[in-house]
C-alpha cells in the first residue's frame, strides 16, 4: 500500500518516471508479499506434548463448541488442540479439506466429514480405517443409518457425531390464527401459505409463505431430493443403479417446485439462499414455513436472535398425494487423516467428541440431534426438545444421498440441473433431466 | 612469434573479460529466471502433462492412464464447458470494453489540473487496492435481496419491491461485470494516465491556434497518441478478465442455473470439488492457451501501433 501511494506521489515529482516508479512500486509490493508469505506458515515449536490439528467448520452456535474444546483441554493437558476453522458451506469446506488431504498435509489429524464424503475419502485413501479402534460392539450404540454412512467396502472410516434430517418449521401462532393444522401435502402447504400471506398483507404485515435452500450448492440437492422422493421418484433408481431424475415422478416434483414455490410462496431470493440466509428470513418473522435441519430449532427459539421465539412448531416435511414424507439424511462425522502422525491422540479426541456426554451437550446447547440411540430416551434432552421423541423415526428413516466415491461430481450435475430447472421458468425440464441423467450414468459407470 | 603470442594472450584476456561480463550478467539474471521456471514454466508444463491423463482422485484404482487428447475431445462435447466458455468470452468482452471506456474517462479527468488532484488520484486507486475477495463480498451485500444497498437506493423503504438481483440469471451476470468494472477501471485509468502525461502540451497549443475544437483535439491528438497506453491497458485487462474466478466464487458460485459459471470456475470445480485432476487441468490449459493467443495478438497490434507513433 505504501509503495503504491509512493508511486502515485512520484507522478507529481517526476512525470517522466511515471511508469518506472509505478512498476518499481508494484514489484516492491510483490517482493514484500513473497517475503511475508513463509512467515505465516512457520510452525509453533512443540513442547513435549502432542499437537492435534482439528479441521472443522464455522459453527452456528460457537459457544457450545468453545465449551467442548475447553472441557477437552482441561481433561487432556498433554494434548494441545489446535482448531482450524473452515467455511460454513459444506461444498467450500470439502474443497478446503480435500486440498489439504490431497497434499498429505500433516496439519490435519482429525476432521469433520459430511455424511456424503466417507465413500470418497475412503476410496481416495484420505480417511484412515478405524476398525481396530471403533469396535463393532461400540458401533451398536449408534443409529444404524449413521454407521452405514461411514462404512465403505466393509470397513468403517468415521464416527457419527450428529445426525441431520430435513424438518418443516412453521409459525404456530399464524397457523392457529387461520385455523390450520400443519400441512401434510405440499399442495396443502402452498394453499395455507397463500391464505396466510394474503390475510396478513391485508393488515399491512409483510410475510412470505416459505423459505428454504435453493442456491446452486449441495443444499439444493438435499431440498430437491425431498420433493422428488415424496412424489415416488428417485435420484438413483435402487433397482437399476442408474439415474432416476428423468423419471415422470421426479420431473413432476421439480416442476411443482418451480411453478408453486420459487417466486410464488417463497421469495425469488431463495435461489441465492443457503441455510443461514433462509433461516434469517424465518427468525425475523418473515416466513410462515421454513425447511431446515434440526439446529434451526435452537436458533429460532432463542429470544436473543429470533423474533419468533416460542411461536415455532416443527413437523415432518409434507409429501405429494399418494407418496410419503422423506427427509434427506445429513449429519457430520469425525474422521482421522491417514497422514496423521498422532493417530492415538486423534482417536482420544474423536472418542471424546462422539461420547455420550458431548453429544448430549451438543444436543442441549446447539440443537444437534445425537447419533447415539440411548440419548433419544434421555429425560433432559426430551425436556428441552420434546419433539425429539416424536421425530425419532424421522431421524431413523432419513434417506441417504447416492453413495459413491464420485458423489461430488454427481452432485455438481444435480445442482446444475436443479438450479436450471427451478430458476428459469422457460427451461424444458424433461430435456434438462435427460441430459443430466446421461451425465450421471456416465459418472456412475466409471466406478463399476 | 613473440608478438603473435602476446596478441593471442591479449585476445584471450579480452575474451575472458568479455565472457566474465557475460557470466556476471547471467548470474544476475539467474535468480529471476529460476523464479520464472519454478513458478511459471513448471506449473504450466505439469498442467499440460496432467491434461493428457485420466486422473480421478475418488477412484485411485483407475491409476493414471495416459489418454492422449481424450480430455480435449471430451471438452469439445461438454455442453457445460462450452456454456462456461461463452460466459467467459462475454464477460471478457463486456468488462474489458467498459473498463477501458471508464478508465479513459477517469484518466482524462485526473489529468487536468484542479485543486485536490493528488487526493483524487490516490482515491481512484482504492477499489483496485482492495482484495477481490473482499470487494466481491461487499458487492454480494450490495445486491442482497433483503438488506442490499442497491434495493435501498432504488426503492427506499418499500421492501415489497426489493429485487433478488443475484437470483436472476441476467442480473447476476451483470452484477459480476459491474463488480469487476468498479474494481479495475482505476487500474486501466492509471495506465492510460501514464500515456496521457507524455503528450506534449505544445501539440494542444498549436492545435488551438489552428482553431481546433475540444472534440477535434481529443480525436486528432489525444486518442492517437494515447493509443499505445490504451493497448497496454487492454492487454492487462483482457488477460485478467480471462482468469476471472474470485468474483464468481464469492458472489454466485456459478449460479443461478450456471448463468455466471465461467471457465476458470468450472475448471476449479472439476479439479478441487470433483477430483478430476486430468480434466480440470485440460480446462486450465485451454484458458492458458486462449490468454496466450490474445496476448500474442495484442503484442503484434501494439508493436505496429508503437512503430506508427514513433514514425509520426
Q: What is the interface pTM, i.e. ipTM, of the complex? A: 0.78
**Cell digits for B90?**
462475454
Q: Tell me the sheet residues that pair with A113.
A: A333
- Residue A156: the pLDDT is 96
Nearest to A419 among B129, B194, B256 (CB): B256
- pLDDT band (50, 70, 90) for residue B7: low
The residues of chain A that CATH labels 3.40.190.10 are 50-164+329-397, 167-328+403-446
Fold of A167-328+403-446: D-Maltodextrin-Binding Protein; domain 2 (3.40.190)
- C-beta atoms of B275 and A98 within 8 A: yes
**Cell digits for A443?**
459418472
Q: Where are the domains of chain B?
A: 1-41, 52-311
Is 3.40.190.10 the CATH number for A50-164+329-397?
yes
What does the pLDDT look like over A304-354, one tens digit per residue?
A: 999 999 999 989 999 999 999 999 999 999 999 999 999 999 999 999 999
CA distance linking residue A85 with residue B54, whole number of Å:
33
Cβ of residue B275 closer than 8 Å to a chain A Cβ: yes
* CA torsion through residues A123, A125, A126, A127, sign: positive
Q: How far is CA B60 from CA B1, B52, B57, B283, in A?
A: 75, 17, 6, 21
- C-beta atoms of B62 and A446 within 8 A: yes
- C-beta atoms of B274 and A405 within 8 A: no
Residue by residue, DSSP assigns B229-297 as HHHHHHHHHHHHHHT--HHHHHHTTT-STTTT--HHHHHHIIIIIS-BHHHHHHHHHHHHHHHHHHHHH
pLDDT at B121 over 80: yes
The continuous run of DSSP H or E covering A34 comes out as helix A18-41
CA distance linking residue B193 with residue B187, whole number of Å:
10
Q: Tell me the sheet residues that pair with A372.
A: A142
- Residue A106: the pLDDT is 87
Instruction: Tell me the three state secondary structure of residue A1.
Output: coil
CA distance linking residue A262 with residue B257, whole number of Å:
14
CA distance linking residue A290 with residue A304, whole number of Å:
19
Nearest to A12 among B79, B118, B252 (CB): B118
What CATH architecture is B52-311? Answer: Orthogonal Bundle (1.10)
The continuous run of DSSP H or E covering A169 comes out as strand A167-171
Cβ of residue B35 closer than 8 Å to a chain A Cβ: no
Global pTM value: 0.81
Q: Provide the pairing of β-strand A312-315 with A167-171.
A: antiparallel
- C-beta atoms of B146 and A15 within 8 A: no
Which parts of chain A register pLDDT below 70?
1-48
Question: Which of residues 371 through 400 in chain A touch B, CB cutoff 8 A?
Answer: none
- Residue A349: the pLDDT is 96
Nearest to A269 among B59, B164, B190 (CB): B164
Nearest to B257 among A18, A270, A424 (CB): A424
- Residue A22: the pLDDT is 46
CA distance linking residue B267 with residue B243, whole number of Å:
11
CA distance linking residue B234 with residue B98, whole number of Å:
11
Task: Please report residues of B whose CB lies closer than 8 A to that of A408.
Answer: 58, 273-275
Task: Please report residues of A whose CB lies closer than 8 A to that of B59.
Answer: 123, 405-406, 446-447
CA distance B257 to chain A (A): 4
What does the pLDDT look like over A382-397, one tens digit per residue?
A: 888 877 777 777 887 8
Q: Omega before A232 cis (within 30°)?
A: no
CA distance linking residue A284 with residue B202, whole number of Å:
66
Cβ of residue A270 closer than 8 Å to a chain B Cβ: yes
CA distance linking residue A17 with residue A15, whole number of Å:
5
- Residue A161: the pLDDT is 95
Q: Count of CB atoms within 10 A of residue A272's CB?
A: 28
- Residue A260: the pLDDT is 96
CA distance linking residue A150 with residue A371, whole number of Å:
12
Task: Please report residues of B whose CB lies closer than 8 A to that of A405.
Answer: 58-59
CB A325 within 8 A of CB A319: yes
Q: Provide the pairing of β-strand A50-57 with A79-86.
A: parallel
- C-beta atoms of A216 and B256 within 8 A: yes
Interface test with A, best of B32, B50, B54, B58 (most A CBs within 10 A): B58
Amino acid at each position: 500500500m505504501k509503495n503504491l501511494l509512493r508511486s502515485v506521489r512520484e507522478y507529481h515529482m517526476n512525470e517522466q518516471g511515471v511508469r518506472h516508479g509505478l512498476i518499481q512500486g508494484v514489484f516492491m509490493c510483490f517482493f514484500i508479499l513473497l517475503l511475508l508469505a513463509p512467515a505465516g506458515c512457520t510452525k509453533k515449536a512443540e513442547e513435549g506434548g502432542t499437537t492435534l490439528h482439528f479441521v472443522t467448520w464455522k459453527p452456528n452456535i460457537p459457544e457450545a463448541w468453545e465449551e467442548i474444546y475447553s472441557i477437552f483441554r482441561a481433561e487432556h493437558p498433554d494434548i494441545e488442540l489446535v482448531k482450524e476453522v473452515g467455511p460454513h458451506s459444506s461444498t467450500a469446506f470439502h474443497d478446503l479439506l480435500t486440498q489439504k488431504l490431497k497434499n498429505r498435509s500433516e496439519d490435519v489429524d482429525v476432521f469433520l466429514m459430511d455424511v456424503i464424503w466417507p465413500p470418497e475419502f475412503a476410496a481416495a485413501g484420505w480417511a484412515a480405517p478405524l476398525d481396530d479402534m471403533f469396535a463393532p460392539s461400540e458401533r451398536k450404540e449408534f443409529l444404524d443409518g449413521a454407521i452405514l454412512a461411514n462404512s465403505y467396502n466393509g470397513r468403517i472410516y468415521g464416527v457419527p457425531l450428529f445426525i441431520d434430517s430435513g424438518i418443516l418449521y412453521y409459525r404456530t401462532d399464524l397457523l392457529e390464527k387461520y385455523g390450520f393444522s400443519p400441512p401434510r401435502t405440499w399442495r396443502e402447504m402452498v394453499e395455507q401459505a397463500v391464505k396466510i400471506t394474503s390475510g396478513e398483507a391485508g393488515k399491512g404485515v409483510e410475510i412470505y409463505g416459505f423459505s428454504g435452500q435453493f442456491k446452486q450448492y449441495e443444499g439444493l440437492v438435499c431440498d430437491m431430493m425431498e420433493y422428488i422422493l415424496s412424489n415416488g421418484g428417485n435420484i438413483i433408481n435402487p433397482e437399476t443403479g442408474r439415474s432416476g431424475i428423468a423419471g415422470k415422478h421426479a420431473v413432476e416434483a421439480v416442476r411443482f417446485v418451480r411453478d408453486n414455490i420459487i417466486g410464488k410462496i417463497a421469495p425469488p431470493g431463495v435461489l441465492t439462499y443457503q441455510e443461514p440466509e433462509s433461516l434469517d428470513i424465518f427468525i425475523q418473522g418473515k416466513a410462515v414455513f421454513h425447511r431446515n435441519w434440526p439446529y434451526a430449532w435452537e436458533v429460532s427459539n432463542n429470544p436473543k436472535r429470533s423474533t419468533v421465539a416460542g411461536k415455532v412448531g416443527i413437523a415432518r416435511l409434507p409429501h405429494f398425494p399418494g407418496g410419503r414424507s422423506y427427509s434427506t439424511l445429513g449429519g457430520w462425522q469425525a474422521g482421522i487423516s491417514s497422514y496423521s502422525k498422532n493417530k492415538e491422540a486423534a482417536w482420544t479426541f474423536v472418542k471424546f467428541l462422539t461420547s455420550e456426554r458431548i453429544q448430549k451437550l451438543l444436543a442441549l446447547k446447539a440443537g444437534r440431534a445425537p447419533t447415539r440411540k440411548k440419548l433419544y430416551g434421555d429425560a433432559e434432552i426430551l425436556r428441552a426438545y420434546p419433539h425429539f421423541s416424536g421425530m425419532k423415526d424421522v431421524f431413523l428413516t432419513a434417506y441417504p444421498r447416492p453413495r459413491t466415491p464420485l458423489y461430488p461430481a454427481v452432485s455438481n450435475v444435480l445442482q446444475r440441473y436443479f438450479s436450471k430447472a427451478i430458476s428459469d421458468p422457460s427451461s424444458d425440464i424433461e430435456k434438462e433431466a435427460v441430459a443430466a441423467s446421461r451425465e450421471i450414468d456416465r459418472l456412475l459407470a466409471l466406478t463399476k | 612469434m613473440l608478438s603473435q603470442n602476446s596478441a593471442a594472450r591479449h585476445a584471450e584476456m579480452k575474451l575472458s573479460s568479455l565472457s566474465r561480463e557475460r557470466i556476471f550478467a547471467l548470474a544476475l539474471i539467474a535468480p529471476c529466471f529460476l523464479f520464472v521456471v519454478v513458478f511459471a514454466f513448471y506449473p504450466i508444463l505439469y498442467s499440460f502433462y496432467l491434461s493428457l491423463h485420466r486422473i480421478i482422485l475418488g477412484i485411485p484404482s483407475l491409476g493414471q492412464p495416459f489418454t492422449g487428447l481424450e480430455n480435449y475431445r471430451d471438452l469439445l462435447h461438454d455442453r457445460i464447458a462450452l456454456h462456461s466458455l461463452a460466459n467467459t468470452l462475454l464477460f471478457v468482452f463486456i468488462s474489458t470494453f467498459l473498463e477501458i471506456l471508464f478508465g479513459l474517462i477517469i484518466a482524462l479527468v485526473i489529468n487536468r489540473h484542479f485543486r485536490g488532484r493528488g487526493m483524487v488520484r490516490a482515491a481512484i486507486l482504492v477499489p483496485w487496492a482492495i482484495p477481490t475477495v473482499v470487494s466481491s463480498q461487499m458487492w454480494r451485500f450490495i445486491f442482497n435481496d433483503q438488506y442490499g444497498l442497491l434495493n435501498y437506493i432504488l426503492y427506499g423503504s418499500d421492501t415489497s419491491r426489493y429485487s433478488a438481483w443475484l437470483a436472476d440469471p441476467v442480473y447476476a451476470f451483470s452484477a459480476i461485470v459491474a463488480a469487476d468494472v468498479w474494481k479495475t477501471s482505476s487500474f486501466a485509468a492509471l495506465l492510460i494516465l501514464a500515456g496521457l502525461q507524455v503528450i506534449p502540451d505544445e501539440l494542444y497549443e498549436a492545435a488551438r491556434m489552428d482553431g481546433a475544437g475540444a472534440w477535434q483535439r481529443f480525436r486528432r491528438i489525444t486518442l492517437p497518441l494515447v493509443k499505445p497506453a490504451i493497448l497496454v491497458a487492454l492487454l492487462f485487462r483482457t488477460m485478467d478478465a480471462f482468469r476471472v474466478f474470485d468474483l464468481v466464487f464469492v458472489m454466485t458460485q456459478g449460479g443461478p442455473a450456471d448463468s455466471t459459471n465461467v471457465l476458470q470456475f468450472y475448471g476449479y470445480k472439476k479439479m478441487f470439488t470433483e477430483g478430476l485432476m486430468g480434466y480440470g487441468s485440460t480446462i486450465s490449459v485451454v484458458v492458458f492457451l486462449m490468454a496466450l493467443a490474445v496476448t500474442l495478438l495484442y503484442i503484434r497490434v501494439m508493436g505496429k501501433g508503437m512503430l506508427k507513433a514513433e514514425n509520426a
